[in-house]
Amino acid sequence: MVKNIISLVVRKVPRKYLQLFSHHVLKVAAIFYTGNRVQCPVCDSHFRKFLPYGRKARENALCPNCLALERHRLMWLFLQRKTPFFTKPLRVLHIAPELCFIHRFEQQPNLDYTTADIESPLAKVKMDVHQIPFPEGSFDVVFCNHVLEHVADDGLAMREIRRVLKPGGWGILQIPLFYPLKDTTFEDPSITDPREREKPTDRTIMYASTAKIIPSGCARPAFGLRKTGWCGS
């Protein structure tokens, strides 16, 4: 029942409205998920389980308190355990900022934190990732999660992100992967309507496995990549 409702809402309500209102609705849902079987590292809350989430809703995904999904919890743990993100003075650009992070990153005294997006009401700077309105070498860190698969030119977007990073800067650019993984990255440049690009079944880009992204050219124009093995499978 909950799964079907969430699946319907995710499919029908545009993401920018979801970002604004879902937080309040899920606070009520959290009452029915009290328990100690799972812990969200982002907000340190405990629940019986996480809420289902997705267009085809998957179980145990969404934190009812802070709205973190699996990938947000993974990113939080990675930042905590493998980077100086929470201690070192850093200038951070967060493109398409996720609600579960914004307030927490803004509160970090070591961070000079800027949110940006082309349409998200949560972002302070309105910008197109193809043309980032900051000078070269402006940021120590850039986050840009689940954006590249929707944009017209992901190579240009990555070069722009690289341009605004300081020498030695780093970024987290998460993309969705669909299993079974394709051998090559699929791209359909004929899909130009932003609403169509939002649909996961009609993405402009469906990435191949990480190992295949580099030879296929997606990451090649912009970044050196380092395999950490930290995420396991």
* Binding footprint of Zn ion on the chain (CB under 5 A): 40, 42-43, 63, 65-66, 68
Which neighbouring-strand residues pair with 58?
A: 53
Residues recorded for the chain: 233
Q: How far apart are CA 24 and CA 226, in angstroms?
A: 39
Phi/psi region, residue 229 (left: phi>0; alpha: psi -120 to 50; beta: rest), is left
CB of 119 to Zn ion, least distance (A): 25
Task: Please identify, using beta-carbon distances, which residue of 11 and 27 lies nearer to Zn ion.
Answer: 27
Task: Please identify, using beta-carbon distances, which residue of 66 and 111 lies nearer to Zn ion.
Answer: 66
Task: Please identify, using beta-carbon distances, which residue of 67 and 165 lies nearer to Zn ion.
Answer: 67
CB of 183 to Zn ion, least distance (A): 36
C-alpha 73: how far from its chain's center?
11
Handedness of CA 61, 62, 64, 66 (dihedral sign): positive
Which residues make Cβ contacts (< 8 Å) with residue 198, sequence separation at least 6? 14, 15, 150
Task: Please identify, using beta-carbon distances, which residue of 65 and 185 lies nearer to Zn ion.
Answer: 65
CB of 64 to Zn ion, least distance (A): 8
Report the SS3 class of residue 143: strand
Place of tokens 């193809």: 130
Task: Please identify, using beta-carbon distances, which residue of 6 and 43 lies nearer to Zn ion.
Answer: 43
Which residues make Cβ contacts (< 8 Å) with residue 219, sequence separation at least 6? 158, 213, 225
CB of 1 to Zn ion, least distance (A): 23
CB of 92 to Zn ion, least distance (A): 20
